[in-house]
Amino acid sequence: MSDASISPPQVLRTEQHGGVRHLILDRPRQRNALNDRMIEALATALSDAEVDTGVQALMISGAGRSFCAGADLQHFLALHDSGQTPRAFLATVSALVRQIELTDLPVVAVLHGHAVAGGLEIALACDAVVAEAGTLIGDGHVRNQLLPGAGSSVRLRRKVGDALGRWLLLTGELLPAERFLASGWLHAVTESGCGVAEGHRLASTLADAAGAGQAATKRLLAELDDRPAVDDGLRVELDAFARHWAAHDIPAELHRFFATRSPNPLVPQGGPT
């Protein structure tokens, strides 16, 4: 069999349960790190769901050990080696996250293992979020001398509060899911292995309320969140990432990360209690 006849590996699976469309990030060996194929697959799946009258709610979860460990940093280095910066790729990630935020369909995120950087940014755009006990959640970008590129600088402090959001952005620390309950951002923390069931329960409740009123309410909430200011903030974030990338040798930092990382590089390094 020739290489040309081999199908590319699957990066996203979909399941339908009643009115709930379940999108499953499926790069488990990479902890569902986001690359261009996964972003394209997610955007297509979301657009397909929006025009399917049998879909009243969406649920996003991850296969394997984690929800999503962020953007694929190897992809960043491949872009650098080809003479490009990650800005254009991050713009597609940011656009996808904005699409999740603005869709008329209610979206539930189910977190487990790790929800870091781009994984956190996807969750911040969802309407309801549940996490399994012990899930490590954080922005994480500064650990690799990076800036956010898909909205955490815009959304994180608004969703979890200024003090906690600022701490997560400036330290890169990962905190267990239980720390986020008081903020109101997490709808629930479940026992290990029970997140998808709880997420489906919430998505089904949202699906039961589907209709013109719910869709109009979502659009109203987006408008009240000051959509133009959010869009401006997302552009400022990408511009800051591009300036930082150009001013510092970030690829060297990423090469050091891959050369020295431990078997579990996402273990948190301590922080406030």
The tens digit of pLDDT for each residue in 39-52 reads 999 999 999 999 99
DSSP state of 8: P
Vertex 40: Cα angle to 35 and 42 (nearest 5): 95
For residue 62, what are the domain limits? 8-193+210-260
Residue 2 has a pLDDT of 39
Q: What are phi and psi of 231, to 5 degrees?
A: -60, -40
Is 109 part of any domain?
yes
Residue 228 has a pLDDT of 63
Prediction pTM value: 0.84
Is 198 part of any domain?
no
When divided into structural domains, the chain yields a total of 1
Is 205 part of any domain?
no
Mean pLDDT of the chain, nearest integer: 88
Is 172 part of any domain?
yes
Of all residues in the chain, what percent are helix, strand and coil, respectively (each to 5)? 50, 15, 35
Cα separations (Å) of 241 from 15, 114, 145, 237, 249?
35, 23, 10, 6, 13
Is 3 part of any domain?
no
Q: Is the pLDDT of residue 195 over 70?
A: yes
Q: Give the domain CATH number at 181.
A: 3.90.226.10
Is 270 part of any domain?
no
Pick the closest to residue 58 from 126, 132, 155, 130 (CA basis).
Answer: 126
Is 266 part of any domain?
no
Residue 227 has a pLDDT of 60
